[in-house]
Chains A and B, each alone.
Chain A
Amino acid sequence: MNYDPEHLAQWMIDVLCGMEDMSKPYKDEILTDNSWIRTFDPLITKSDEYVWHRDEKDRIVTVLDGDGWQFQFDNEIPIQLNSNDVINIPKHTYHRIIVGSTALKLRIEEVE
């Protein structure tokens, strides 16, 4: 890192400009080709980023941690998420999560 003041100022501008990838409201830790740990942080994510969406493949989701989060399938009422809950999400099925109070950590496995 060059600590030249002008360079440092430009670097700070870059940070403020959002050059880091803020396009995803979560962080992934890859486990295998078809599984990963996904962490959502309610402190850095706006609630409207958790939108209804569908996925290309079937997914098996295991809740590892997180308080106050909910999960909802299309045409159903949201359900509270608790540690060790397992949710099977068929491909192309609308679903969403509803933001909670602490970081939500999920293990996601994609099934062919």
Chain B
Amino acid sequence: MKRLAEHTLERAVDYHINNSLPIYENVFRAGTPLHFKLLERVKSLYDSQQYIPMNEDEEAILKTDIGSWDVYENTAVPLDYPMFTEEDEPELNKPKRGGSKKFYVYVRNPETGNVKKVEWGDTSGLKIKIDDEGARKSFAARHQCDQQKDRTSAAYWACNTPRYGKQLGLGPNSTGNFFW
């Protein structure tokens, strides 16, 4: 079993080199033993000048203590590694400003159990006429807001944005239990 893991690690190093994949895009799933073992292996190769970093960012990472472990409060912790585990999931169902669009929210997909980031909202500087009741109703009708029940869809959150107006920093006229 140990030999198999070693073989997999060797192939993983080759995979990174052959695909020009820097170690910060670790081929193994974050947080798994192989993920950390690969960091350790590449760091060891770098320290013995058998691994050439692919860019400055990768070199900066390999100059840290990444791949090493220390004990903190009786628990082994990886050094220079951002700590997150499956338990540290983002806050669910709390829309926030930001992301690649105007707003984003993390939700759990009930079909798979996976957490998913949903993003919505214009980023080109255009504004929806939220104060215009006619425009709001037209928007809601066109997008069938009363039928949007899937919380994993952008349409659901776009339709329900006014409900979260306060926490999203929208004005008082844009906040309330109504669709756009």
Contacts and interface: CB of A to CB of B under 8 A. Distances in A.
A16 B158 CA distance: 12
* Max chain B C-beta neighbours (<10 A), residue from A14, A23, A75, A96: A23
Interface stretch (B52-60, B70-78, B149-157): B149-157
B151 to A, nearest CB: 10
Given A10-B135, A18-B158, A78 B112 contact: no
B51 interface: no
A74 interface: yes
Contact of A20 (B29, B124, B155): B155
Contact of B154 (A18, A53, A54): A18
Contact of B122 (A13, A72, A78): A13
Contacts of A55: 112
B152 A23 contact: yes
A23 B118 contact: yes
Contact of A75 (B8, B15, B118, B121): B8
Interface in B90-129: 101, 111-114, 116, 118-122, 124, 126-129
Interface of A: 7, 10-11, 13-14, 16-23, 51-56, 72, 74-78, 94, 96
11 contacts: A16-B122, A17-B126, A19-B154, A23-B152, A51-B114, A56-B111, A74-B29, A75-B32, A76-B8, A78-B15, A96-B29
Given A17-B120, A72-B27, A94-B29, 7 more contacts: A10-B135, A14-B139, A16-B124, A16-B126, A20-B155, A53-B114, A77-B12
Interface of B: 8, 11-12, 15, 27-29, 32, 34, 101, 111-114, 116, 118-122, 124, 126-129, 135, 138-139, 142-143, 152-155, 158
